[in-house]
Amino acid sequence: MNTIEAQNPFLVKQYTTPHNTIPFDKIEVAHYEPAIREGIRQHNAEIDAIINNAETPTFANTIEAYERSGKLLAHVSEVFGNLLSAETNDDMQELAKIIMPLLDEHSNDVSLNETLFNRIKFVYEHQANENLNQEQTKLLEDVYNGFVRNGANLQNEAKENYRELTRQLSLLTLQFSENNLKETNDYKLVLTDKAQLSGLPGSAVETAAETAREQGIDGWVFTLQAPSYIPFMAYADDRNLRRELYMAYNTKCTHDNATDNRQIVKELVNTRMDIAKLLGYQNYAEYVLQERMAQNSKAVYQLLNQLLEAYTPTAHQEYEAIQALAREEQGADFTIMPWDWSYYSRKLKDKKFNINDEMLRPYFELNKVKEGVFGLATRLYGITFRKNVDIPVYHPDVDAYEVFDKNGEYLAVLYTDFHPRAGKRSGAWMTSFKGQWIDSETGENSRPHVSIVMNFTKPTKDKPALLTFDEVETLLHEFGHSLHGMFANSTYESLSGTNVYWDFVELPSQFMENFATEKEFLNTFARHYITGELIPDTLVQRIIDSSNFNAAYACLRQVSFGLLDMAWYTRTTPFDGDVETYEKQAWAQAQILPQVPSTCMSTQFSHIFAGGYSAGYYSYKWAEVLDADAFSLFKQKGIFNKEVAESFRENILSKGATEHPMTLYKRFRGQEPTIDALLIRNGIKR
C-alpha cells in the first residue's frame, strides 16, 4: 500500500464524522482513483464468493449477496460523480476520463459474467420454491431484468460490441457535459455604459457589478448563469443586447471549435441506438420505456399529442396578446422574436396583474424561504431540521442539516447548496451521497444523506439573496425530491428512495410546487427582508391570479422538449444529418415563436444527452398529470391535512421501488390519474 492509499479517507472502515458523513475536508483529487480501484478489487472478490459458492443458488446466497456487494465502489463513485457536477475543476474532469471508462468496464465485467448470471437466472426460474415477500420478489425481478438489459444474454462478439459501445457512451457523455460547462463559464457580456442598463432592476445591476468586481473588470458583467441571464432577458430595454445574450445562450456548443457538441450529439444518438438494437429492441426509446410507467413510445406520444391538442389554442391566444402589447409600443409591423418573449411577457403580466419578480423578491429572502419550506415539511410530516456545523461540507456555500422524524429519531442528513460558481453545472438537482437500507444481520435502518443543489441569485455586498418566485418553486421542487430520499424505508438500497421509474420520480417534486401559490403557506414565511412586514394579501392574490399566465405556452415548451427527445431516440437508422435542421423539424408543431437560424437546443440539452433523461423528458409532463391529481385531494381535504400527508408519505414517499408505481399511486389516491386535474389547474378546462 503506497502513501496515498495509507492516508486515503475513503479506505477507513468507519468515518469519525457525525452520522458517518463524508469527510469532505480530508478528500483530495488524488484519493479517488486508488479508492475506485480498491472498490473494484473488493467487489470482484465479493462476486467471486457468490459464483464459487458450492450450494444451490438461492435468494439469500445469490440475490441478497449481490445486492450487498460493491459498497465501497458505489460510495466512492457516488461522491466523485456528485462533485463532478457540483464542485468540479480541471483535475477532476481529466480524472473522469480515466475513472468513468474504468467503472464502465467493471460494470460490464459484472453484468456480462456468465456464471453469475446463471445463478441469478436459476433463482429467478425457481422462485416458486422460495417464500419471497413483495419486496424480495421485486428485487429478484429487478436484478434479473437488469442483467438481461445490460447484455447478459449476449454471446461472444456481441458481448465485446456491447463493451465497446458502453465505453464510447461513457466518454461521449463526459465530453458533452464538459463542453457545455466550459461554454457557459467562458461567456460574459461586459457593459461599461450605464445607459445600456436601462430597464434592469437594481438587484440585477448589483449582481452584475459584483460579478465584474470578482473578475477584476470595470463595469457590469452578465453571464449565461440563470440568475444573470433570466432577469436580463426579462427587463433589459436594449433589444440588441437581449438578442446578443439570447444568441450566446442558444448557440452554446455549436461553434466550430473544441467545445462543439454537434458531432457528439450524432455519436450519442447513434451509440444508444446501436446498444438498443444489439439488445433486441427496435430503438432506444423502446429499450428505455420498457421500465417506465409509459411502457412504450405510443403512450408517450399519446400524452404529448393530448397536451398539444388541449393547450395549443390557448398558447396562440397568449402569443397574440403579447404580440399586441409589443406592437402598441413598437408599431404595427413589429414581430415578437424569442429574445423579446420574456421582456414583453413580463410587461403584460405586470400590466394585467401588477406583479413581477422585483415586487416579490423582498419577501423571498433565501433564509426565510428555507425556513418556510422546512416548516412546510414539519407541518405536513412532523419532521424537524437542525443545522450541524460539525458535518463536513464540500464548499463553504454548503450547509448540512440533521433531520429528525416526528418521534424525535434521527431520519437523515440534508446538504443544501444554493449559488452558482465556476465549478458547478447549471440547473438544479437533488442527489444522494448515501442511500437507505436495512441491515439484514443487525436490523439497523441505515439512514440516507441527500443533497439539493441549485443556482440561485447570490447575495451582494448590500443585500441578502433575494429569490424570484420561480426560484421559490425550484426550491420546493428539489426539496420534494429530497423528501422522497429522506423518507426512504426499504430493506434494499437498490429499491430505496428515488430509485423509481423516471416518469414517477418527478411526482414528489412537482407535487411540492403546488404549495407556492397557496396563501396559507406563503403567510408562514414571506416577510419583507427589511421591514419584517408579512407579504400583503393583495400581493398573494396577484400571485394566485397570475399563476396561469402563459401556462399554455409553458406547457408547449415542455412538450417541444419531449418531442425533440423522442425524435432523437425513436430513430431506427443512424443519424448523419444536420443537427439544427433535424431539431427544428422535430419540435415544429409545438413552436409558437419563430425559430431562429443557427440556434440549437440539442447541443446543450444535458438532460437527454448526458443526464439520464434520454427518451424520458416526457416524464415531467407525465408526472405533472400525477401531481395535479394528487394535490387535488389535498385541496379537497385541506392542504395541511395530516391524514392525507401521512398517506402520501406512507404510500408514495417511503416505498421507493418496492412495488409498481401505479399500484402505489392508486393506493394513495384511490383511482388512476386523469389529465382533467391538470387542465383545471392550468385554467384550460373549467
Q: Is the pLDDT of residue 611 over 90?
A: no
Please identify, among 500, 526, 547, the residue that sits at the C-terminal boundary of a domain.
547
Pair 574, 539 in one domain:
no
On whether residue 172 sits in a domain, the answer given is yes
On whether both 393 and 537 belong to a single domain, the answer is yes
Q: How many CB atoms lie within 10 A of CB 244?
A: 14
Residue 505 lies in a domain: no
Pair 580, 600: CB distance under 8 Å:
yes
| 271 and 392 fall within a common domain | no
Please check the confidence at residue 5 and state whether its pLDDT lies above 60.
Answer: no
% of the chain residues with pLDDT over 70:
99
What pLDDT sits at residue 440? 82
Which of 203, 224, 250 is the endpoint of a domain? 250
Q: How confident is the model at residue 6 (pLDDT cuts 50, 70, 90)?
A: low
Mean pLDDT of 126-143: 96
Domain co-membership, 561 together with 619: yes
Based on the fold, state whether residues 399 and 526 are members of the same structural domain.
Answer: yes
**Domain presence at residue 337:** no
Contacts 24+ apart (CB under 8 A), 344-348: 345/234, 345/549, 345/550, 346/234, 346/235, 348/321, 348/322
Tell me the pLDDT tens digit for each residue of 599-609: 999 999 999 99
Q: Average pLDDT of 492-501?
A: 97
Express each pLDDT in 232-274 by its tens digit. 999 999 999 999 999 999 999 999 999 999 999 999 999 999 9
Q: What is the mean pLDDT of residues 514-521?
A: 96
Q: What are the E-state strand segments in 418-572?
A: 429-434, 437-438, 445-446, 449-453
Q: Is 478 a catalytic residue?
A: yes
pLDDT at 318 over 60: yes
484 and 461 in a common domain: yes
Instruction: Give percent above pLDDT 90 in the chain.
Output: 95
Instruction: Report the 10 Å Cβ neighbour count for 575.
Output: 17
Range of the domain at 560: 157-180+260-317+550-686
Mean pLDDT throughout 404-426? 96
Q: What mean pLDDT comes out for the span 7-14?
A: 94
Q: What is the band of 441 on the pLDDT scale with cuts at 50, 70, 90?
A: confident
pLDDT tens digits, one per residue of 49-85: 999 999 999 999 999 999 999 999 999 999 999 999 9
Is residue 333 situated within a structural domain? no
User: Is 356 inside a domain boundary?
Assistant: no
Distance from C-alpha of 293 to C-alpha of 502, rounded to nearest angstrom: 8
Domain stops at, among 219, 250, 281 = 250
Give the CATH number for residue 567: 1.10.1370.10
Task: Please report the pLDDT score of residue 658 as a whole number.
Answer: 97
Catalytic residue (one of 67, 267, 286, 478): 478
CATH number of the domain that residue 378 is part of: 1.10.1370.40
Of 51, 16, 271, the closest CA to residue 166 belongs to 271
Count: domains in the chain: 4
Give the H/E segment covering residue 404: strand 399-404
Q: How many residues does the chain have?
A: 686
403 with 463, same domain: the answer is: yes
- For the cut 90, the answer to whether the pLDDT of residue 187 exceeds it is yes
Dig out the grid coordinates for 298 from the structure.
Answer: 405510443
> Would the pLDDT of 1 be above 90?
no
Q: Across-strand partners of 451?
A: 415, 431
Classify residue 51: in a domain, yes or no. Answer: yes
| Mean pLDDT confidence for 373-389 | 98
What is residue 4's predicted lDDT score, i.e. its pLDDT?
46
Statement: residue 89 has pLDDT above 80? yes
Q: What is the mean pLDDT of the chain?
A: 96
Give the model confidence (pLDDT) of 614-667 as tens digits. Answer: 999 999 999 999 999 999 999 999 999 999 999 999 999 999 999 999 999 999
Both 170 and 304 in one domain: the answer is yes
User: Which candidate, 365, 427, 390, 385, places its Cα nearest to that of 605?
Assistant: 427
393 and 265, same structural domain? no
In a domain, 332, yes or no: no
User: Do 193 and 142 share a domain, yes or no?
Assistant: no
Specify whether 594 is located in the same domain as 669: yes
Q: Is the pTM of this model over 0.75?
A: yes
On whether both 462 and 570 belong to a single domain, the answer is no
What pLDDT does 607 receive? Answer: 95
Cα dist from 85 to 25, 76, 110, 213, 397, whole Å: 18, 15, 26, 26, 15
> Quick one: 96 exposed, middle or buried, by C-beta within 10 A (0-12, 13-18, 19+)?
buried
Is 610 within a domain? yes
Measured between alpha carbons, how far is 178 from 196 in angstroms, rounded to an integer?
32
The answer on pLDDT for 222 being more than 80 is yes
